Structure 1
């Protein structure tokens, strides 16, 4: 596979160039003795193209003349940054105002985060009783009835209980023990914590191999590199809607044994960056493969609410393996969810969880000891998780508004998923699979030979060159596919579907005009 080489190349070169100056200053920590994995790790969604996009925004703010009036950041799955409004039940305060002659009266309908942050608000009245009950229940699980207190390292117990109840409802009654649930600062923190457990070389000196899909979300490649693990890529089948083939899994695993002691299989469903939703049959195939080769399965399921395509449905790995019965229920599984995606989009509040299935009890004790060094995840983030897994129920005062807002967000995302796929699929030199779920499209761009040669002459990956040209000429910020991994000789980019409809249409218009000019300039 070819991963982007220049993503942090500019930073690395600057670091190395300054090495002599740094050493001359007699500092203890230099780029010559820093953990080398920190230099070599890459995280494309915040790489040099995004850095340049921020610079362009600052230049525009200072009055610079550009071929565009604004920068559109389609590089990262940050819903609120793209204009999504918070769900009222979670944290939005609705201000109802009216004037009566010269008098002004304001009434605030405070919601859960407001109430748990400032308890006195609940005493003033004027907001739904189910919100009050919800907030009081969360605060009752906090030390001193305050979200300013540490929670247990595993999280607030009542919230863990609500997560377990949510998982049990989601999975059709399959039991979930709250003791198997750990709350964390987003799913990313839990994912990295689980990967840390495998930072041990085998007796033969081989690193632990971690199988990840290609294309993949760079959290995995970056963390694997940082933790000195071994990246083992398996290709998703672009020709079959980014599905997963058993033969490819077998090939990847067999080849990995030359260099690594492979123990972990990562699956992202719905997919990031590829937007596919795995069928139940595909999930069963994966479970059988993991069991056959005794692999620890990590199921990244943070987009489980984001399913749009007709005929597509989210199936949790835990539910499927439990329904498959013995011997598959013996599989070790860690599954992850987050408040950053779904209909919530609360990226900045950092709430998430991991549920373990069939983890060795002694390992679990050590895992909890390891996370205790970080004390706890943010309690406000935990409170948001509680709102997600324990939302208003039919008949409660907040239910109708919550359901209306949730359904509207998901319907709008579905509209944009269809719009993006059709738009890119209709442009010459671009092909795009349907966006079945998640928040991204991963179109393939068919670049002219002259454009590829131009990129190579600049020591750049062709899709990086294309993405940078797109940014400089239109202000549209995307991430080149080489930052996620792709088959040799193919070029892609990842774009989110998060810009609101009007901005999305503007982005697609800018893209289409640029692409036409680009093909004309570099035509063979």
Structure 2
């Protein structure tokens, strides 16, 4: 205490003042937030891009950022009709222009009529424009074969991530057995489960809320759980069975977790990120039974529901399967399912539009959820406009239908399917790399063999072995991928996540160059 008083007096004498907010005094939960997809390896990629622009000589001419599922950043052309509707809503004077089709004008006029002051610049209600929520409900009903959806159970959000995250408990140190080792830090979380997680997280010590998340997992979940001081409970997907979800593994994870926390929720990502698997209907039924028996709130991350490529694979929504299972599940199992305009065929990541539908949520809790949404005022209205077009596209009788459906939507999804197949094929031809089928979503998650000397060298440098590999890959080839350790993987295995989004003319050379680098790296450390 005396020493601290002397330091304070010296600071005062020198005209210095200790900052109120420092790393030591800030919220420790925020310091634990990590988000591998935008971590240090991406920072280095940005630095390399800057060096290339400055004329610094590198063994490559461009950095290819295959680290993130950002379709338009990878060159995908925006779908025309949604952008036309958005332009008309943002600048209504264009409604008099002959350059826009009549159906786009009708859609824009309809949306503007539903906005406050007939302007996109006005706040909407906290849950989103009522008319757009009704359109989302009709979309869900069509998707699920006529099963009703109530607009009052639908909340529009800033992307899907914001909907996933809504109270939190006191911040403290996480139990070391259940919280993953340090990942790459990214303080601002994307918006998928955050609102619902806030509602779920409570307690201290052994009563803290635990959330079961798939491993490998999308780092949003580990980041959100760290921010809310919840306990991350890992259940491992079965790599030997194309990343299948095994209920026996869920039971193992739940049993071990109950020694340290109170598990209250189970998250499933379908189609999978980063693993690209598509769950079967039988698997979804098993998961619902498990959640019901163990009294777990279900979080269904379904943002890739349009991205299904593999023959024999089909997307089944948790809402549809739950309803068709009948009593007691349909009437009692709590569920929140999430969707977004960021993925699918539109790839409108930057506009941040999405929704959550809640099923069997307690009415009083739903009011609290509405209260939390109101604190954020409203989701961005441009994202709401694009969401409306995504869930209610041009009809066959509309002038924009042919371009939207055949020339653009179908073409985007067909190209993604071809890229998924090519990625699997090229990697599986490379010695020391094995890639499961990319059944859906936008990523591959190949497993690679790393020589013991490479593992030892990584440890000497204080790096995870797959991070060491990915950094060397970036420095020598300009290819930016994310190490599997940022997503979680079984001990002793090494992976990387790579998006399949680069244009086809760049994708094959990228895959071949990456495979060749792995062979060179293996030879160097053998």
Normalising by structure 1, what TM-score? 0.91
**Other-structure match for 1:164:** 137
- Residue 341 (structure 2) pairs with residue 339 (structure 1): yes
Q: CA separation in 2, counterparts of 1:224 and 1:231?
A: 6
Picking from 508, 518, 521, the partner of 1:505 is 508
Q: Which has the higher mean CA deviation after the structures are superposed, 118-127 or 210-219?
A: 118-127
- Residue 56 (structure 2) pairs with residue 53 (structure 1): no
CA offsets 1:359-397 (integer angstroms, 9 cap, x no match): 000000011101111101100000000000010011111
- Residue 420 (structure 2) pairs with residue 447 (structure 1): no
CA offsets 1:38-77 (integer angstroms, 9 cap, x no match): 1122100011100000000000000000010000000000
* Contact residue 111 and residue 385 of structure 2 kept, 8 A: yes
Q: Which has the higher mean CA deviation after the structures are superposed, 502-511 or 444-453?
A: 502-511
**Other-structure match for 1:428:** 431
Q: CA separation in 2, counterparts of 1:25 and 1:471?
A: 42
Q: CA separation in 2, counterparts of 1:294 and 1:302?
A: 25
Picking from 409, 412, 429, the partner of 2:412 is 409
**Other-structure match for 2:97:** 124
Q: CA separation in 1, counterparts of 2:451 and 2:16?
A: 48
Question: Alpha carbons of 1:259 and 1:143: their partners in 2 closer, same or farther (altered >3 Å)?
Answer: same
Cα deviation, residue 166, structure 1:
0.1
Unpaired stretches in structure 1, ≥5 consecutive residues: 1-19, 92-110
Q: How many corresponding residue pairs?
A: 482
**Other-structure match for 1:278:** 279
- Residue 302 (structure 2) pairs with residue 301 (structure 1): yes
Partner of 1:334, secondary structure, is strand
Picking from 42, 54, 64, the partner of 1:72 is 64
- Residue 315 (structure 2) pairs with residue 314 (structure 1): yes
1:4-403 matches, within 5 Å, as: 25-91=17-83, 111-191=84-164, 192-201=194-203, 205-329=206-330, 330-403=332-405
CA offsets 1:75-98 (integer angstroms, 9 cap, x no match): 00000000000001011xxxxxxx
- Residue 478 (structure 2) pairs with residue 482 (structure 1): no
Partner of 1:211, secondary structure, is strand
Partner of 1:356, secondary structure, is strand
Partner of 1:262, secondary structure, is strand
* Contact residue 206 and residue 260 of structure 2 kept, 8 A: no
Partner of 1:64, secondary structure, is coil
Partner of 1:82, secondary structure, is coil
Q: CA separation in 2, counterparts of 1:503 and 1:187?
A: 30
Q: CA separation in 2, counterparts of 1:268 and 1:434?
A: 17
Partner of 2:80, secondary structure, is coil
Q: CA separation in 1, counterparts of 2:475 and 2:40?
A: 13
**Other-structure match for 1:99:** none
Cα deviation, residue 28, structure 1:
1.1
Q: CA separation in 2, counterparts of 1:208 and 1:24?
A: 43
Q: CA separation in 2, counterparts of 1:341 and 1:48?
A: 24
CA offsets 1:168-201 (integer angstroms, 9 cap, x no match): 0000000000010000110011011111112310
Q: Which has the higher mean CA deviation after the structures are superposed, 291-300 or 507-516?
A: 507-516
Q: Which has the higher mean CA deviation after the structures are superposed, 33-42 or 316-325?
A: 33-42
CA RMSD of aligned residues (A): 1.2
Cα deviation, residue 205, structure 1:
5.0
CA offsets 1:425-473 (integer angstroms, 9 cap, x no match): 1111100000000000000011111111111111111000000000000
Partner of 2:438, secondary structure, is coil
Cα deviation, residue 24, structure 1:
6.3
Cα deviation, residue 399, structure 1:
0.4
Partner of 1:345, secondary structure, is coil
**Other-structure match for 2:475:** 472
Q: CA separation in 2, counterparts of 1:126 and 1:382?
A: 23
